[in-house]
Structure formats: structure tokens, C-alpha cells
Amino acid sequence: MNPFSRIISGTMTWGAWGAKMSTAQMQLQIEKNLSMGITTFDHADIYGGYTTEAEFGAAYSKTKIPREQLQFITKCGIQMPCEARPLSVKHYDYSSNHIQKSVDNSLKALRTDYIDLLLFHRPSPLLNVETATQIIQKLLKEGKIKSFGVSNFTPAQIALLQKELRPSWNQIECSLTHEKPLFDGTIDYLSTHKIGVMAWSPLGSFFKEENSRVIRIKQCMESLSKKYDCSEDQLLLAWLAQHPSQIHPVVGTTSTQRMKNAISALEIKLELTDWFLLLKASQGVEVA
């Protein structure tokens, strides 16, 4: 059974990489999200230069929320040069020692006894499947992680892992402005193998760029926003959520209103032609 809320709260910009929220502000954010039905929080060890997990953990410890009511996702594998780790080069490390140490650090930082889902953050050309399998099976057996998945892996890279491991999720970039995974076989493969799909940056580049693609989408949205009585961000999420693979958007906003919008977007059912009108606006051409 899928334990994760359909909208996942992304924490990447809660701390040093964005809002720089205080402990009290993070505590309130956790409580507000839960009150809206968002129970899943997405982390990575590197967020905030290896600081955000601990800040979140300190905030969570001040709530009175039972641990079993929430789900914590975190990622490991990227070794990022920063103040906390003065490394010579950014690289990937999937050695048993690094995976074990990363999980132990995350458990301590998040102030929890277990991680609901551990993801390998990025694929490495030096990933040894046998080594990874042994340490993941050990962590599962010990109960330090409840499940295992990957992030940003291609079907071929997952197939390599599947010789020994069965990832339960793949967290990928997917949105109306980054629709490639819907057409290149990525999501087809995940659905075929019953691997769940989480989408980071589910709003894509719509609010970040002002190019011909975004202009076309905005023009298309003018009538659709009125038709469905919703905002632009809701249309973007509704479009993504309508895919039959039940994509789980990872929404990184710290705005209560935008999070409410995200939840409400799941109730919007676009007419088939409207879904394709948005796709046409994004791609600039009709489907073949």
C-alpha cells in the first residue's frame, strides 16, 4: 500500500537554500501541511549544504505529531563541496560506507528511528549493484529504512539495479514544460514495473522563464483558468496529475495558499481536449 500523500512537501528551500526559516517557522509549516492532509516530506542530505535535515528535525521534535502520521523521504549519493564538506570535486559515492553513514546522519538529523523512503539521488557510472544491494538489504532488515528507490534514473539504469534490487519509486523531473518522460519511455517503464513516480519541479519553468513556450502556455491558460475557475499553478499540477501513472508532485513552496492550491488542483479533471491543448501549447505543435 502506498503510504505517501499525493502532494509531497519538498523541503529543499526551507532552510539555507531559500526561505531560511527559523525552528518555530518550520514547526508551523509542518503542522500546517499536516492539517491540509500533506503527510510526506521530501529531503536530501545535501539540502542547505547538509544543514536542512537537522533544522527540520529540530522543528519536528517540537511538534506533538506522532511519527507514524508522517513520512520522511531522503536521498544520498551526492558528495557536494561546501563549508560542511570541503571536497576537491563534486562526485557520487555509493560505497557501503557512505550509504550507511548517510542514513545514520539523516536519522540523527531528522530525529527519527527510520526513513520511510531512501532514494539514490543521482545515477553514478561507478555504481556497483552488488555493493548497493547488500547495504540496502541490510538497512531494510535493520528497519532503518522502510523502502528504497531512486531519483533521476533512466529505465536502463533501473533495469541494471533490478537484477538484485527492486526500487519502489523514481523521483524525476517532470512537468508541462519538461514533458519528455511522458514520451521517452521513462514513465512507461516505471508503470510496467509497478514503480511509483514522483515529480520534482512539477511547475517546470513556467514561473521561472519568459520564453516562447511559456508565452504560448499562458495564452492557452487564459480561457482554461476561467473555464475551470483556477489559477495557473493549479492548471499545471492538474495537467500532471491527470496522467494515469498517478504522479506524486513534490511541491517546494512554503506558501500556505499555494499548498492549498496544489491540493485543490488534484480535484480538477481536465477535459481530454484541454489536456492536449496545453500539451500543444508547450510543444508548439499538434501531436502527430
Sign of CA dihedral 29, 31, 34, 40: positive
Is 92 one of the annotated active-site residues of the chain?
A: no
Residue of 135, 266, 247, 124 lying closest to 195 (CA atoms) = 247
Distance CA 70, CA 72 (A): 7
Q: Rounded to 5 degrees, what angle do the CA atoms 190, 201, 24 make?
A: 120
Task: Give me the residues paired with residue 120 across strands.
Answer: 76, 150
Catalytic residue among 47, 60, 94, 228: 47
Sign of CA dihedral 231, 233, 236, 241: negative
Distance CA 238, CA 65 (A): 30
Contact between 79 and 86 under an 8 Å Cβ cutoff? The reply is no
Tell me phi and psi for residue 188, to 5 degrees: -60, -45
Distance CA 85, CA 203 (A): 31
Beta strands (DSSP E) in the chain are: 8-10, 40-42, 71-76, 78-79, 91-92, 117-120, 148-151, 169-173, 196-200, 248-251
Residue 131: CB partners within 8 Å, gap ≥ 6? 94, 95, 96
Task: Give me the residues paired with residue 40 across strands.
Answer: 71
Catalytic residues: 47
